[in-house]
Amino acid sequence: MKSKNRFPLSEKRPSEYPIGSNDDDVCVDIASALGESDMRFILARRHQLGMQAINEAYATVKDEMRKGKCQSPGRLFNFLLTKKLEEKNERKN
């Protein structure tokens, strides 16, 4: 069954994703570091929130990892960006 995703490149593993810009490179590095299986989540959040939100969330994750307080970096990263998106959507309403 073929994917119905409008952006089939986003389903590629980070190591297979073609780099088209510096932002792509940063997203691939972060996704790889967090062990993400594909690029869908990070690319969607980049589109919705921008690179500043991606970088801020990853900086928070790295800080928590250095402190030894983060057992699931990918989960924390996703949580932080989802929370930012919810806050953004609440401000719109």
pTM here? Answer: 0.80
pLDDT at 6 over 70: no
Q: Binning pLDDT at 50, 70 and 90, where does residue 13 land?
A: low
- For residues 18-33, give the mean pLDDT: 86
Q: Which pLDDT does position 81 carry in this prediction?
A: 97
Q: State the pLDDT confidence band at 8, using cuts at 50, 70 and 90.
A: low
With CA atoms as reference, report the closest residue to 51 among 17, 28, 75: 28
Distance CA 43, CA 59 (A): 17
Rounded Cα–Cα distance for residues 37 and 31 (Å): 8
- Name residue 72's amino acid: S
